[in-house]
Structure formats: structure tokens, C-alpha cells
Amino acid sequence: MSTRAGGVSAGPWASLNLGAHCGDDAAAVAENRARFAAAIAARPVWLQQVHGCRVLELTPASAAQDLPPADAAWTTTPGLACTVQVADCLPVLLAARDGRAVAAAHAGWRGLAGGVLEATVAALCRGAGLQPGDLLAWLGPCIGPRQFEVGAEVLQAFGDDPAAPDRRRFMPRSRPDDSPRWLADLPGLARESLQAAGVEAVSGEGRCTVEEASAFFSFRRDGATGRLAAAIWRG
């Protein structure tokens, strides 16, 4: 998992911005991506993320082509790094316990509600001959439950009634104008999805991108900002 340190970008993208479509100088992004690749000693494969549920298999042939939009990828090929970009959304990395396959998923609330993690687990297991219980999952830094204020449409996307929400998922928040808002637990929702898919071994840092401005980019906090990256690969 990258932080915002160690790159060449300036201004709101300072300094290791890895996002190519957020307003930063293209030459700076190219240099930052080269530094990231050198640091992990693998080839990051950058996805066209759209907050959806498509999962791609990465092979030497597919990684050499323009990839269709997708928010998750898996591979059994050594040296290809499944890579997702985030700036408040949750990066989820998956690996087989025996190391035969890995996957990465970009999980914002839309993707989680749509089933991106379940789709990633299913694709990884089907393609690599695994069972969900064979997998380890890691949840990276994202907007935390003290900062992720949402409206009723988010609760409804997860099947919660705004009049009686599950407070483990959505905590009602008072506002001066009395408009209904809630604080959502994005990592908690991801853990639910993974466990429902049969993945029991789930770990994570619990770090908040909004609250740690020196370490992480955050779209919710800053608006114009860079992108972090989480990657996983077979050696």
C-alpha cells in the first residue's frame, strides 16, 4: 500500500500521486508510477475503475492490452501486480494461503453494495481451483466510520431501513439543520461481504484516509487530490 510520500508531484497531488486522471501533470504521474513499480519489484497493472463489479483475470497477454473497465483483478502469474487506486474507497487484497493466486478489489460503497467482493472471491476461487476458506483478505486504509457521512440512499443500497438502521453499519448523526444523515462503517460492510462469501481470515489496519492527511490522499477531505495504490503479486 502506497502513501502520499516519495513522489515528484506538486500542489494538491504532492507527492506520490499514482492517479492518471485527477488533474496532475502526466509526466509526474509517469515518474511516480515508475517509482512505485521499482519499489514493489513487480509490474503494476492499472485498472480503469468505475465503481462496478467486473473482475478481470490478468495474464501476460491480457496485461499487454487495453483493459476494459473493471474494479477488481486476479492472477496466478508471478510478477503481475493486481493493483487498485483509492482516495477514500477501500482497497481489499486477497491471497490464497498456499500462494498460488492473488487478487485486488476497489470497494467503495457502490461496489460493496453491488457485490464486488463476492464477485472477486468467486472469480479467484473458480479460476485458481480454490475454496473461499483457502483465502486471506486484507483491508487497507479508507475513509473511517467517524468520517464517512452518508445519506439514505446508501442505507437503502445495503437493504437498511433509514427509519431503523443497523447501528453496527450506520450510526445516526445529528446535524444543525436536522437533515437525516448517518456515519457508515465501510470496513465493517466489507468484512460482512467477505464473511458472507466464505472468507473467514480478514485482517486490516483500520487507518482512516481522512484523518491522516500527512500519510494519505482523501477526496472527501480535499476534493482535488491524488490517488493511492494497493497492490498484491506473486513473487
DSSP single-letter state for residue 33: H
User: What per-residue confidence (pLDDT) applies to 92?
Assistant: 98
User: What per-residue confidence (pLDDT) applies to 93?
Assistant: 98
C-alpha cell at 234: 506473486
92 bridge partner residues: 105, 139
DSSP letters, 138-158, are EE--B--TTT-EE-HHHHHHT
Domain count of the chain? 1
Nearest Cα neighbor of 20 from 11, 10, 30, 12 is 30
Is 137 inside a domain boundary? yes
Nearest Cα neighbor of 24 from 10, 7, 6, 45 is 10
Domain hosting residue 73, numbered range: 11-144+200-232
Q: What is the CA radius of gyration of the chain?
A: 18
Sign of the Cα pseudo-torsion (151, 153, 158, 162, in order): positive
Q: How far apart are CA 116 and CA 189, in angstroms?
A: 12
CATH number at residue 208: 3.60.140.10
Is 63 inside a domain boundary? yes
Q: How far apart are CA 182 and CA 205, in angstroms?
A: 23
E-strand stretches of the chain: 43-46, 55-57, 72-75, 80-86, 90-96, 102-107, 135-139, 149-150, 170-173, 181-184, 201-204, 228-232
User: What per-residue confidence (pLDDT) applies to 136?
Assistant: 98
User: What per-residue confidence (pLDDT) applies to 215?
Assistant: 98
C-alpha cell at 187: 470496513
Is 103 inside a domain boundary? yes
Is 150 inside a domain boundary? no
User: What per-residue confidence (pLDDT) applies to 4?
Assistant: 98
Give residues with Cβ within 8 angstroms of 179, minimum separation 6.
none
Predicted TM-score (pTM) of the model is: 0.98
User: What per-residue confidence (pLDDT) applies to 176?
Assistant: 85
> 28 by DSSP, 3-state: which?
helix
Is 108 inside a domain boundary? yes
Nearest Cα neighbor of 196 from 132, 142, 138, 140 is 132
**Mean pLDDT of each 10-residue bin along the chain, 235 residues long:** 98 98 98 98 98 98 96 98 98 98 98 98 98 98 98 98 96 90 98 98 95 98 98 97
User: What per-residue confidence (pLDDT) applies to 175?
Assistant: 86
